[in-house]
């Protein structure tokens, strides 16, 4: 489908109009693209290569991979599957999104502009690691953000939780199912957990230190100790941090979509936002940030977008269809 119009100098311009544009090439975006491609929708997947799945060295809780798989390998397989079903993939960074009076979405990237009837935002989030020397080398290897993803891999080992809020306290308490060696470090800050959480920490004898961390000692990403400002060190095998998340919701906000108090994009059961034709899926929504959950949300969004386009085409009396094949003529030999 082509959209034509006039630019400021009077020249006629034309834009290809996609049925759907997906912004974000993580598990949610790839899953939606597969469903839309298989539904024979003219689909564009735009990504900038920043999926947090790349941080995961060994994904052990994604169905179908009993021996685990790296996040990078999972993404590589996903992109191959997307291309198999005819989805166009663009390497670009979208920085502006608006819905025009005709209901079309205008997406502006660093490379070019795009137009689509429907848009899915699967822009995800970024976990904020502690600003401590040595941390970045250990990401996804022995420093983790998600207990649901990674507590199992550090069972029966010593664990330090870096944080000072209720979530930090709950991380430490939940780790007791995996190990007896758990400590909370507030990294020089005053604890913010409430009275109830303080009581539970005392009840289950979770040690807490308020010392500041100078650095993380490690061997090729495998943590061996936490080094404090006073020079003392604490031997440990893993660190979990609960510093916080940055939700990549700027495009949704530009388009006028509702956000919740934490900055996540509000969606309904079909992944629809408050803006007609705009969808969101994955870790940028209030769902638990798990790869397999993101993929499931992407599938839900892909199916919902396809249904939405189908109903619109019926209303417009513009239902696309395969052209009739010419009849085969029989010839006598």
Whether 116 and 203 map to the same domain: the answer is no
Q: Which domain holds residue 179?
A: 129-241
Whether 48 and 186 map to the same domain: the answer is no
At residue 270, the pLDDT reads 98
At residue 15, the pLDDT reads 81
Whether 166 and 301 map to the same domain: the answer is no
Segment 324-333 shows an average pLDDT of 68
Whether 273 and 160 map to the same domain: the answer is no
Residue 333 has pLDDT above 70, yes or no: no
At residue 104, the pLDDT reads 97
pLDDT per residue as tens digits for the range 228-277: 999 999 999 999 998 788 999 999 999 999 999 999 999 999 999 999 99
What's the CATH number where 12 sits?
Answer: 3.50.50.60
Instruction: Please state, for a pLDDT cut of 70, what percent of the chain lies above it.
Output: 94
pLDDT per residue as tens digits for the range 160-199: 999 999 999 999 999 999 999 999 999 999 999 999 999 9
At residue 11, the pLDDT reads 46
Q: Answer for the pair 46, 133: CB distance below 8 angstroms, yes or no.
A: no
pLDDT per residue as tens digits for the range 99-124: 999 999 999 999 999 999 999 999 99
At residue 323, the pLDDT reads 84
Residue 67 has pLDDT above 90, yes or no: yes
At residue 244, the pLDDT reads 80
Look at residues 241, 262, 296 and tell me which one is the last residue of a structural domain.
241
């Amino acid at each position: 489908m082509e959209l034509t119009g006039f630019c400021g100098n009077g020249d006629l311009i034309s834009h290809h109009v996609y049925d759907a544009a997906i912004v974000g090439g993580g598990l949610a975006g790839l899953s939606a693209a597969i469903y839309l491609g298989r539904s024979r929708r003219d689909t564009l997947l735009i990504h900038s290569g920043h999926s947090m799945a790349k941080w995961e060295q060994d994904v052990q809780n994604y169905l179908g991979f009993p021996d685990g798989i790296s996040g990078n390998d999972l993404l590589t397989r996903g992109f191959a599957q997307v291309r198999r079903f005819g989805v166009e993939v663009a390497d670009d960074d979208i920085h502006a999104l608006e819905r025009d009076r005709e209901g079309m979405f205008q997406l502006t990237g660093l490379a070019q502009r795009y137009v689509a009837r429907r848009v899915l935002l699967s822009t995800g989030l970024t976990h904020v690691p502690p600003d401590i020397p040595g941390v970045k080398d250990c990401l996804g290897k022995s420093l983790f953000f998600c207990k649901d993803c990674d507590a199992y891999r550090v069972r029966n080992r010593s664990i330090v939780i870096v944080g000072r809020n209720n979530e930090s306290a709950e991380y430490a308490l939940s780790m007791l199912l995996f190990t007896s060696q758990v400590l909370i470090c507030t990294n020089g800050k005053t604890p913010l957990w409430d009275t109830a959480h303080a009581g539970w920490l005392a009840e289950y004898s979770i040690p807490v230190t308020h010392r500041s961390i100078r650095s993380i000692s490690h061997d090729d990403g495998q943590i061996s100790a936490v080094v404090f400002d006073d020079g003392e060190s604490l031997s440990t095998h893993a660190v979990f941090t609960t510093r916080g998340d940055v939700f990549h919701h700027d495009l949704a906000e530009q388009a006028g979509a509702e956000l919740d108090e934490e900055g996540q994009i509000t969606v309904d059961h079909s992944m629809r936002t408050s803006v007609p034709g705009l969808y969101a899926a994955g870790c940028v929504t209030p769902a638990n940030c798990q790869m397999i959950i993101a993929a499931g949300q992407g599938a839900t969004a892909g199916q919902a977008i396809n249904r939405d386009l189908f109903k619109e085409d019926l209303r417009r009396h513009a239902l696309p269809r395969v052209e009739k094949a010419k009849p085969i003529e029989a010839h006598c030999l």
